[in-house]
Amino acid sequence: GPPSPAHRPRVCSRVRSRNSALSLLDPWPYLPSFPPSRRGRYWRCCSRGAPGSVMGSRASTLLRDEELEEIKKETGCEFGQITRLYSRFTSLDKGENGTLSREDFQRIPELAINPLGDRIINAFFPEGEDQVNFRGFMRTLAHFRPIEDNEKSKDVNGPEPLNSRSNKLHFAFRLYDLDKDDKISRDELLQVLRMMVGVNISDEQLGSIADRTIQEADQDGDSAISFTEFVKVLEKVDVEQKMSIRFLH
């Protein structure tokens, strides 16, 4: 599994290293290609502009070759994409402990103004946990890889890729399904609707919208939308394009 992040005390927003005189110097932080390091190559994606600190204290922000390979296999992303996203991960990680918390996500202004921002942030954190490491981060983002990329590496016997149509729909389903019981009840739909419209629509109106939606989708008469019913309603929607994010270059 991934290396456990070293436990460091939370740093305050104004970070000044104690040995600031030392950190001013340009010490030997990078690994030149001679002599070859026996531990394998490290990809050092430091947060931009940080003074190179003495080797070793930044171990938790290094991404090992083996980890890179594992992530590549699991998510199907390319090498360049993974390193760029790792760069992004470390720049979001203000506490510099190798994991992201909910506050780290909420610091992104464009996400904070998204009506469903909190639901999306929630999707990154597995049940009951407050921190997500880079593997988890990539696993969630991998849902949004374009589907055509799968054509290059078709593995019929392997597990279903994270960015298949079904998995993309499942991701959207989980945004609605607040209590994770694999059913979207009327209450859950109302709550999500309320998040999306704010105070601009009355309760009765919203209620009738929710009722109508469930009525149209529900086929087994349990007044809730199961995943299969969800898929059936959206069978004509171009999920591949609408739930995919394309990398430039």
- 31 to 60, contacts with another protein by CB under 8 A? 31-34, 41, 43-52
227 lies in the binding site for another protein (CB under 8 A): no
Single residue of 107, 130, 179, 222 touching another protein by CB under 8 A: 107
Helix (H, G, I), strand (E, B) or coil at 10: coil
User: Please, which residue, 33 or 157, has the CB nearer to another protein?
Assistant: 33
Interaction of residue 220 with another protein, rule CB under 8 A: no
Q: Omega before 146 cis (within 30°)?
A: no
Q: Is 68 in the site for another protein (CB under 8 A)?
A: no
Give the relative orientation of helices 65-75 and 79-92 as an angle to the nearest 10 degrees. Answer: 110
> Contact region for another protein (CB under 8 A) — 2-10, 11-19, 69-77, 155-163?
11-19
Burial of residue 83 (number of CB atoms within 10 Å: 0-12, 13-18, 19+)? middle
User: Exactly one of 68, 147, 190, 217 binds another protein (CB under 8 A); which one?
Assistant: 217
Q: Which residue among 64, 95, 116, 178 contacts another protein (CB under 8 A)?
A: 116
Residue 247 as a binder of another protein (CB under 8 A): the answer is yes
142 interacts with another protein by CB under 8 A: no
CA 10 from chain centre, in angstroms, equals: 22
Residue 110 vs 151, nearer CB to another protein: 110
Q: Which stretch binds another protein (CB under 8 A): 2-10, 66-74, 153-161, 227-235?
A: 227-235
Of the candidate residues 68, 178, 190, 233, the single one contacting another protein (CB under 8 A): 233
What amino acid is encoded at 83 in this protein?
T
Whether 207 contacts 199, CB under 8 Å: no
Do 73 and 57 form a contact (C-beta atoms < 8 A)? no
CA–CA distance, 146 with 152 (Å, rounded to integer): 12
What tokens appear for 73 in the block? 């296999």
Which residues inside 147-186 make contact with another protein, applying CB under 8 A? 171-172, 175-176
Q: How far apart are CA 199 and CA 75, in angstroms?
A: 39
Query: C-alpha distances in angstroms, 117 versus 13, 36, 109, 151, 232?
Result: 23, 45, 10, 32, 26
Stretch that binds another protein, among 68-76, 114-122, 147-155, 158-166 (CB under 8 A): 114-122
